[in-house]
Amino acid sequence: MEKNKTKTIIAIIIIGIILVVNVMPFLWLILTSLKTRLDIFAIPPKFFFHPTAKNFISAFTKRHFLPMFYNSLIISASTTLLSLAVGTLGAYSLARFKLFGDKHISFWILSTRMFPPIVLVIPFFIMATRWGLHDTRSLLVIVYTTFNLPFVVWIMRSFFEDIPSDLEKAATVDGYSRWDAFWKVILPLSAPGLVTTAILCFIFSWNEFLFANVLTAAMAKTVPVGIRGLVTSRAIEWGEIAAVATLQVIPVLAFTFAVQKYIIRGLTLGAVKG
């Protein structure tokens, strides 16, 4: 009994340390966004101060971050939907059909994800300039989808392989076509995997900086690129950076909390198998 109590106390202490390490940076970010410049650089650091919304107001009135948030949201949502639509069908094909050289196809798809993004920036820039796509949201959607597809295919393939194919055969016996069996039986069962993959795709697109920095100028500029603009040779606007970064986290957190039950099911799918 005493031994179990000691283990419980140690577990609570470890969990507390993990929470502090992970939560403290985000908490400090929020506090910084609410401070004046004097409070930000105060020594010792201030935990209690008069909060101000000046940094948030300045970010949207002087720095014009609203269009950037709009661009980030449209690009991330479009990329996630397109990646899931194409990648899910590809993953289902690899999981269910015997294709010539399917193992090589799977490895080739995965190998495209191994390229360092910096290697592909210049070719994308040249093609975008020649085709008149530079500084457009469509270009970033295409580029991000290209990088997300191997990721979606490999994750969703494992989910489809875990779903018994007998369910589809039973559906076809009941009069369903192959497409109806996929749409009405298999896809709902793979919902946890779809949601988990969607979140990861959205986070990648939402936070991506390198391609957005090179392939956009003004019209399609995203939030990470806008934050980089707050670091100048004259000063670093820490208050505005913290304010925008705080707002940038909110959509991802809201989306994640809204679908958290699917995430848990998605991450634990297959864990109970022997």
Cα separation, 122 vs 245, whole angstroms: 28
Residue 25's identity, in one-letter code, is P
In a domain, 215, yes or no: yes
Cα separation, 47 vs 183, whole angstroms: 53
In a domain, 274, yes or no: no
pTM, to two decimals: 0.83
Q: Are residues 161 and 41 in the same domain?
A: no
Structure tokens, 11:
């577990």
Residue ending a domain, choose from 33, 51, 69 = 51
**Following DSSP, what letter does each residue of 26-65 receive, concatenated?**
HHHHHHHHTS-HHHHT-SSPPSS-----HHHHHHHHTS--
Give the pLDDT of residue 272: 42
Q: Are residues 20 and 97 in the same domain?
A: no
Residue ending a domain, choose from 51, 67, 83 = 51
Residue 34's identity, in one-letter code, is L
Q: Are residues 86 and 135 in the same domain?
A: yes
252 dihedral zone (left: phi>0; alpha: psi -120 to 50; beta): alpha
Cα separation, 206 vs 99, whole angstroms: 35
In a domain, 232, yes or no: yes
In a domain, 229, yes or no: yes
Q: Are residues 40 and 173 in the same domain?
A: no
CATH of the domain at 141: 1.10.3720.10
DSSP state of 114: G
In a domain, 170, yes or no: yes
In a domain, 158, yes or no: yes
Q: Are residues 47 and 63 in the same domain?
A: no
Give the pLDDT of residue 271: 45
Structure tokens, 108:
């080739």
Give the pLDDT of residue 190: 86
In a domain, 107, yes or no: yes
Strand partners, 236: 231
User: How many domains would you assign to the chain?
Assistant: 2
Q: Are residues 235 and 171 in the same domain?
A: yes
Q: Are residues 119 and 239 in the same domain?
A: yes
Q: Are residues 125 and 259 in the same domain?
A: yes
Residue ending a domain, choose from 51, 72, 90 = 51
Structural domain that includes position 14: 1-51
Q: Are residues 122 and 223 in the same domain?
A: yes
Q: Are residues 81 and 11 in the same domain?
A: no
Identify the sign of the CA torsion 211, 213, 214, 216. positive
In a domain, 119, yes or no: yes
Give the pLDDT of residue 273: 45
Give the pLDDT of residue 206: 92
Q: Are residues 34 and 85 in the same domain?
A: no
Q: Are residues 62 and 182 in the same domain?
A: yes
Per run of 10 residues, the mean pLDDT along the chain (length 274 residues) is 79 88 88 90 86 91 91 94 93 83 74 79 90 91 91 87 84 85 87 87 91 90 91 86 91 79 61 42
